[in-house]
Amino acid sequence: MNLQGAAPLVILTILAGGLPGVVAIKRCYGLISAVAGLGLVVALLSIPYALQAPVPALPAMFTLNALSLGFIGLILVSGLLILILAAGYWQAQTPLRREEYPLLFVAGILGAAVLAAAANFMMLFIGLETMTLAMIGMIAYPHFRPGAEEAGMKYLVLSGMSSSFVLFGIGLIELSSGSLNITQIIAATPADAASREMLIAGLAMIAIGTGFKLSVVPFHIWVPDVYAGAPAPTGAYVAVIAKLGVLAVLIRVINLPGVSLPAGVMTLITVIAILSMLAGNLLALMQDNLKRILGYSSIAHLGYLLVAMLAAGTIGQVAVVFYIVAYAITMIGAFGVIAVLSRSSDARDIDKISELRGLFWTRPALAAVMTLFLLSLAGIPPALGFIAKMYIMAAGVHTQLWGLLAVMVVSGVIGLFYYLNIILMMSMKPHTEEPLPGVLAISIPNRLAIAMVSLPILAFGVAPSPLIALLKLMFN
């Protein structure tokens, strides 16, 4: 059995299995974080090696091609950045045992990677559940925070429900086609009406589950509460890693040869895209909590992404992946700023907009970086989000999706309101001369993580060519 093609998955599995052993030997948060980070780096470095695999590894379980390995790379990079944030976030005086957080973290990454590469529905479900269960633990991790527990409970119930939808859908598909292989189900389904209907019902069930995970309208209700309740690094994790895994599957399915979406499905996705863009931006207007705003903003961004998914052709595909990259890095950055400002021992994070007041005067560099992230989310140069938005618009113009583009423009302008509001708040004079809590204690890993996130946002926002070239490799 040649496992070269599955090298990142193998490494992640060893890492997830081995970390508890490290905890057993020595309970040291720094050590465990370092081992986890090292493992993620090794997994990341193994991707070029995996790409050169002469024979596909575990073809019955995984599709390991440039696309899925690219997504795994993306998951690993994002995971690494969030891990660095988390390492600085859980301070020693926090009244809990910090060492298990990296365990959950790595298990979730493993789940997302499995999901991204799954070739059959069983692996898909296993990946999804591994990721989700780890995330529930991470959301409710600070058990002394009532908000976190509530968020964890909410996510447990709702994601459990969406998982059962997916499972039921998988059952129906298996019944209609006799196959669990994602690439073969449509071909394998008998042409009789009953089987077809069962297949469609099954796919619809899975679509509902996917909608929950992607948090598009009308499956978005859980987002603000969970984002607000979760500790900041977990917030970034939920906003980025979970979406990356699901989007990877979605893009792989859309890119399958011979798959053309029927007109009805196209209309449905269009409606979902429009509703997500508008609802996300409109609901964010009324919020005073930064994490909630980021949650609603992520709903709107998923709406933009759907626009690009509807746009066919290479330009649309690359636009989707480019947008995902921009979204992922920026979200991590925005949650990172919250994480840097907050103390994990407090009852909640520093996430009220009013708490950011005067950041430009107390910590100008951090405020400038946060402004960059917000500009990126709003799609304004010189941030990466601008190029991403242009990419999506280009794809939309190419496919002549004028209605969707009009909605995108309108909702983009609405979105400016709340992004600007945050920037304004940061620019106002602070009430007192005292710096914000936590401001003085920005640790080295935190500085490192914020710098590592903001650099690509600025650099690729000015010169995106290298990134475009890299992402095009995923579609050769």
Partner 1 sequence: MMLAMLLIVPIAGGLLAWLAGRFSPLAVRIVSLLVLLLDLAIALPLLHGTSNIAMPGNWMAGFNAPWIPAFGMNFRLGMDGVSWLLAVLTILIGIFAIIVSWDEIDDGVGFFHANLLWSLAGAIGVFVALDMFLFFYFWELMLVPMYFIIAIWGHENRRRAAIKFFLFTQGSGLLILLSILALAFLHQQQTGVLTFNYFELIQTHTFGTFGFLVMLGLFIAFIVKLASFPVHAWLPETHTEAPTAGSVILASILLKTGAYGLLRFVIPLVPMAAHSLAPVALWLGVGSILYGAFLAYGQSDLKKLIAYTSISHMGFVLIGVFVFNNIAWQGVVLLLVAHGISTGALFIIVGSVQHRLHTRNLAQMGGMWTDLPRLSSFGTFFILASMGLPGLGNFVGEFLILRGAWSVAPLITVIAAIGLIPAALYSLIAIQRAFHGPVDEERDTHDFGTRETAMMLVLAAAIIYLGVYPQPVLNIAAPSLNNMQPQPATAMLKETRAG
Residues that bind partner 1 (CB under 8 A): 318, 360-361, 364, 375, 380-382, 386-387, 390, 393-394, 397-398, 405, 409, 412-413, 416-417, 420-421, 423-424, 427, 429, 463-465, 468-469, 472
Residue placing its CB nearer to partner 1 in the complex, 61 or 366: 366
> Which tokens is 287 given?
């919020």
Q: Which is nearer to partner 1, 248 or 423 (CB)?
A: 423
Question: Angle 253-257-262 (CA atoms, 0-180°, nearest 5)?
Answer: 70
Query: What is the nearest approach in angstroms of partner 1 to the Cβ of residue 375?
Result: 7
Sign of the Cα torsion 261, 59, 161, 239 reads negative
Strands annotated E in 218-367: none
Scanning 178-231, the segments in alpha helix (DSSP H) are 185-188, 193-214, 223-229
Amino acid identity, position 162 = S
Q: How far is the CB of 468 from partner 1 (least distance, A)?
A: 5
In whole angstroms, how close is the CB of 465 to partner 1 at the nearest point?
5
φ and ψ of 118, to 5 deg = -60, 135
- Residue for token pair 């292989």: 181
Beta-bridge partner residues of 118: 62
Contacts of residue 303, defined as CB under 8 A and 6 or more positions apart, other chains included, come to 216, 217, 272, 273, 274, 275, 276, 277, 278, 280, 411
Report in angstroms how near the CB of residue 305 gets to partner 1 at its nearest: 18
Whose Cβ is closer to partner 1: residue 144's or residue 417's? Answer: 417
Q: Residue 210 contacts by C-beta under 8 Å, 6 or more apart in sequence?
A: 166, 246, 249, 250
- How far, rounded to the nearest angstrom, does the alpha carbon of residue 475 sit from its chain's CA centroid? 21
Cis link prior to 382 (omega < 30° from 0)? yes
CB of 355 to partner 1, least distance (A): 18
Nearest approach, Cβ of 416 to partner 1 (angstroms)? 6
Supply the minimum distance, in Å, between the C-beta of residue 384 and partner 1: 13
By beta-carbon proximity to partner 1, the closer residue of 53 and 405 is: 405
Smallest gap, in angstroms, from Cβ of residue 444 to partner 1?
21
Q: Nearer to partner 1 by C-beta: 44 or 353?
A: 353
Q: Which is nearer to partner 1, 66 or 406 (CB)?
A: 406
Q: Considering the complex, what minimum distance in angstroms separates the CB of residue 190 from partner 1? A: 43
**Closer residue to partner 1 in complex, CB, 235/464:** 464
* Tokens found for residue 61: 């379980």
Among residues 17 and 313, whose Cβ is nearest to partner 1?
Answer: 313
Residue 466 corresponds to which tokens in the numbers above? 């290298």
- How is residue 73 written in tokens? 């790379």
Nearest 5°: the CA angle 158, 102, 445 is 115
Considering beta carbons, is residue 259 or 410 the nearer one to partner 1? Answer: 410
Q: What is the DSSP string of 392-404?
A: HHHHHHHTT-HHH
Q: Among 58, 19, 55, which residue's Cα sits nearest to residue 36?
A: 19
Nearest by Cα to 416 from 454, 389, 397, 452: 389
